[in-house]
Chains A and B, each alone.
Chain A
Amino acid sequence: MKKIITLVLTLVLTLSLAACGSDSNSNTDNSDNNDSAAVTGTVSTDGSTSMEKVIGALGESFMAANEGVEFTYNPTGSGAGITAAQEGRCDIGLSSRALKDEEKAGGLKETVLAYDGIAIIVNPENPVNDLTLDQIAKLYTGEITNWKDVGGNDAEVVLIGREAASGTRDGFESITGTKDKCQYRQELTSTGDVITAVSQNPDAIGYASLASIKDSVKALNVDGVTPSEATVKDGSYKVQRPFVLVTVEGKELTPVAQKFFDYITSPDAAAIIAKAGAVAAN
């Protein structure tokens, strides 16, 4: 009996805390967006796990601004998301790669929501300024282990990356084609840690989301292109991938899904996308 009372009490406490949290959230967010006519219903999204942060942040702010709207996200992976969109199991499919031609031919439509730009960073003392995508892949798979082979000092390369579940790691490895083959010396758990580790070691190389690069490290040119918001957007900087919204050509979205679609592709959402570490396409 006593145990039950305790359990109930603990639950009540946690719930009241949680309630406080969500209350204050919706209050702050409501103030900046309450122009629209009320729509209710559910927006379901399904797909890329790398887009979790971006789509999650957008979904949260959309729900906060529209009462009675439910947003769901099912992290299944890009391929599964595209299939789900095609079969109508979700409103909007999410893919962290561009659609293939045969997928487009199958009646799917892609809308680029944002670009995920990943900077390759080294210590400012490192004389190397430019690497090709192929060289980067060879460095990370351990084929090249000394900086002198890519025009640097005679020193062993120290590979710094992110933990296995990181979206940035997934992005980097899929772009460079090094999935599950990287010989990391350090696997750190945040962008900040990667930047600090690289800034402390003259022979280190790492990767981090473009939005978070600081002066303490040097971002390398890849195939001669300097990473920046502009070069990511026009596609000349290679270490990037699009975050794509997948819908069915000619099939109308539900009103609430259409509203969500319009909201996240509008310039208003750019700040939220940037905060989640990507470059907004609009």
Chain B
Amino acid sequence: MRTKRAMEDAIHGLFLLLGLVTVGCVLLITVYLIISGIPAIREIGLVDFLFGPEWDSAAAEPKFGILPFILTSVYGTAGAILLGVPIGFMTAVFLAKAAPPKMKAVVSSAVSLLAGIPSVVYGLVGMLVLVPGIRKIFHIPDGSGLLAAIIVLAIMILPSIINVSMTALEAVPREYEDASLALGATATETWFRVSVPAARSGIAAAVVLGVGRAIGEAMAVMMVSGNVPNMPALFQSVRFLTTAVASEMGYAGAGLRRQALFSIALVLFLFIMLINAALNFFLKRSKEK
């Protein structure tokens, strides 16, 4: 009896320890980011840093304004959501309600496969197919830029949107739909007037998850967006918050320039915290229902 108890305690302790490792990592990263991100912001000035329209860290008189990066990240994410959500949402409705079982199996596994493709592959395909394609279709000298990044991001967020909204739609009680059908509504009316409103918290969570994925993506975006710190425009070469950190980190050496990159990371971190908070809010609401 006693040994059994001791064993139980030991295993309990082990699990606790493993759990604490995760929490410790999060704490470590948060504390480190804040400590290393604050000095540069202090030196440059919060307003100059966040709203400065020009970034040129390597010049003789360096400029550290990250407004172009913030706007690009916001525009790029918004564009990806605008393109990706309708497609993903419709696919989810189709898979959850309309698709015959065989079709559903095929499409679902295709969606899972899409989720498993590494982001550098998206970037490579974008660079080899999408960028030259945009150049030819729109007759512009170079296809890389915000539009290419938006398209790549829209495809990358599809799996999260489809999977999460599909789960939400499937969780709608059968009785709701039966009642609607019994009242004489058609199948389509039932999906959009009954099932979708009943699952809206879950669908909102899917969108927020998509936003989180889009704003945090670096590799694929870096390969197709041109990566010049311009103010964003559809065909303009742009740089995101993520790629701003990734593209200069390798060389930045010491001093203000490196610290400024940590400050960008801190801004990005805050964005993602905000999105996570929103996600938790929506998920909690959908559970309470």
A interface residue numbers (CB < 8 A to B): 2-3, 5-7, 9-10, 49, 52, 75, 155-158, 163-167, 180, 184-189, 193, 196-197, 200-201, 203-204
Q: Is B184 an interface residue (CB 8 A)?
A: no
Q: How distant is the Cα of A167 from the Cα of B251 in the complex, in angstroms?
A: 9
> What is the distance, in angstroms, from A230's C-beta to the closest C-beta of chain B?
30
Q: Are B228 and A189 within 8 A (Cβ)?
A: no
Interfacial chain A residues near B143, Cβ < 8 Å: 201
Q: How distant is the Cα of A122 from the Cα of B10 in the complex, in angstroms?
A: 66
Knowing A164-B248, A196-B127, the reply to whether A158 touches B24 (Cβ < 8 A) is no
Chain A proximity mask over B218-232: 1 for CB below 8 Å, otherwise 0: 000011001110000
Specify the main secondary structure of chain A where it touches its partner. Answer: mixed
Q: Which of B43-51, B57-65, B78-86 has 4 or more CB atoms under 8 Å from chain A?
A: B57-65
Q: Are B222 and A180 within 8 A (Cβ)?
A: no
Q: Is B56 an interface residue (CB 8 A)?
A: yes
**From B24, which residue of chain A is reached at the shortest CB distance?**
A6
Q: How distant is the Cα of A156 from the Cα of B27 in the complex, in angstroms?
A: 51
Q: Are B21 and A9 within 8 A (Cβ)?
A: yes
Q: List 5 A-B contacts (CB under 8 A).
A: A155-B141, A163-B248, A164-B57, A197-B144, A200-B131
Knowing A3-B24, A10-B28, A158-B142, the reply to whether A201 touches B132 (Cβ < 8 A) is yes
> Which one of B127, B226, B250 contacts A165 once the chains associate, using CB atoms below 8 Å?
B250
Knowing A166-B251, A185-B226, the reply to whether A200 touches B132 (Cβ < 8 A) is yes
Q: How distant is the Cα of A2 from the Cα of B24 in the complex, in angstroms?
A: 9
Knowing A6-B24, A10-B28, A186-B227, the reply to whether A165 touches B251 (Cβ < 8 A) is yes
**From B144, which residue of chain A is reached at the shortest CB distance?**
A186
Q: Are A165 and B248 within 8 A (Cβ)?
A: yes
Knowing A185-B228, A200-B128, the reply to whether A10 touches B248 (Cβ < 8 A) is no
> What is the distance, in angstroms, from B9's C-beta to the closest C-beta of chain A?
16
Q: Is B253 an interface residue (CB 8 A)?
A: yes
Q: Is B247 an interface residue (CB 8 A)?
A: yes
Q: Is B187 an interface residue (CB 8 A)?
A: no
Interfacial chain A residues near B127, Cβ < 8 Å: 193, 196-197, 200
